[in-house]
A and B are shown apart, each in its own frame.
Chain A
Amino acid sequence: MAYFHGVWLIVRKDLVSESRTLERISSMLFLALTILVIFSFALDFSRRQVADLAAGVLWVTLSLSAVLSLHESFRLEREDKALWALRLAPLDESAIYIGKLLANLLLLGGPAVLTLLLGGLFFNLNLAPVAGSLALVLLLNTLGFAALGTLFAALSSRTRRGEILLHLLLLPLSIPLILAAVRSTTPLLLGRELLAVTLWLKLTVIMDIAFVTAGILLFEYLTEE
């Protein structure tokens, strides 16, 4: 129980510190909006059937805007050696990882939902009938992305020009996640049932399990001084 209490304390700490500034959420949202607008010029949404493009555009937008937010999650821990203090706490390293992961899941998921709604507006999509299925796809893929992102943000925050390194590591590693996300979102936007994408959902669940496990096992090696 003490373990889960520790996890909860870390989640709460991250949410409270974010609520003071709303820095991560607002910058992720603003970046996502900008990328969506750039896409609208590049692909000219008004002229073509956009439902089959929308999923790709949305997931690329979400992945790119999430990287910055993930980098922030550990940059703050580096300032004034906050992570050092966190490691002194009587907590297992994996509890720190899981806490940071859950906080990141919430802090990425919130703006992601808003971006999805914004995308629905831009693309003139009716998201209401598929809202539940979309939420599931969003949750599973954000979990995998956050699992990798939390691990590598811990790595990149300790390096010089870490943001570049985080992009270089996280984007290629999350290619299968982005691919699965696009493949499972497209049929939903075209009005198909969730059953049509079970193969991709299974793959996503496998990736989630693999990446979360890797994160739990490897996190401690990245926080050592």
Chain B
Amino acid sequence: MAFRTTVRSISLWAALTLCMLVSIHGVFLDAPRERVMGDVQRIFYFHFPAALGCFLAFGVVCFASVAYLWTRERRWDHLGRASAEVGVLFCTMVLMSGPLWAKSAWGAWWTWEARLTTTLVLWLLYVAYLMIGLYTDSREQRARAAAVVGIVAFLDVPVVYFSVKWWRGHHPIVLGRGGEGGLSPEMWPIVWICLATFLLLYGILVGLRMSLARAEDIVLDLEETLQG
């Protein structure tokens, strides 16, 4: 059993390392230089997968929250918390890589545009979600509270997006109708590789965080048993 787990984790890490090397090679050497924005556009290969990874992560938080309230199994709480942590990490990467690109493309580090603002609000919401743990005493109480917040926060995402969108506009449209962010055909394979890398990274980090949460739970169970 232990041997199989080790083999599995080694192969996952090996796959991730390989994907990262291929991605970095693709982004810096294979991808064509963007005609208008130049090399700064290469930030996009990290920015976009991190953004999708963050939305996926927060979607998983919502799913895990519903599953926890439904079944009361601790593993769903572990999944929700792990996914929220990785989601906040990815969200931070989006918020840091975005301004680097925007400074050169738009001439300003930050604008109060719909997606930027939504991402910032998302970051605030899920940091608050993670902070619930600091304020609660019992594990069950924390898990229930976090699950409720995980659901309501996810409900909030579309309304935040639409409200800010009606308030402000202008972000390159990457998917759908061309727009200024339209990618040339040779850029797409690299985007896909980067996406796969980020998804794998997400999976591995969540897996690690969940096993840590399980270990923490076992320790707490032992402590409770010892204290009677």
Contacts and interface: CB of A to CB of B under 8 A. Distances in A.
Q: Do A and B come from one complex?
A: yes
Contacts of A165: 131-132, 135
A218 B66 CA distance: 10
B69 A172 contact: no
Interface stretch (A75-83, A187-195, A203-211): A203-211
Contacts of A175: 121, 160, 163
A211 B160 CA distance: 13
A172 B125 contact: yes
Contacts of B166: 183, 199-200, 203
A158 interface: yes
Contact of A203 (B132, B137, B156, B159): B159
A148 B128 CA distance: 15
B163 A180 contact: yes
Interface residue tally of chain A, by bracket?
A: 20 to 34
A218 B135 contact: no
Nearest to A222: B148
Contacts of A173: 125, 152-153, 156
B141 interface: yes
A155 B145 contact: yes
A224 B151 CA distance: 18
A179 interface: yes
Interface in B143-158: 144-145, 147-149, 151-153, 155-156
Contact of A218 (B124, B137, B151): B151
Contacts of A159: 132, 135-137, 141, 145
A199 B166 CA distance: 9
A176 interface: yes
Contacts of A164: 135
A156 B69 CA distance: 18
B106 interface: no
B162 interface: yes
Contacts of B131: 165, 168
B164 interface: yes
Given A159-B135, A160-B137, A175-B121, A168 B159 contact: no
A211 B131 CA distance: 22
Nearest to A161: B135
A214 interface: yes
Contact of A169 (B128, B144, B155, B159): B128
Contacts of B162: 176, 203
Contacts of A176: 156, 159-160, 162-164
Interface of B: 69, 121, 124-125, 128, 131-132, 135-137, 141, 144-145, 147-149, 151-153, 155-156, 159-160, 162-164, 166-167
7 contacts: A169-B149, A172-B121, A172-B124, A203-B163, A210-B155, A214-B151, A214-B152
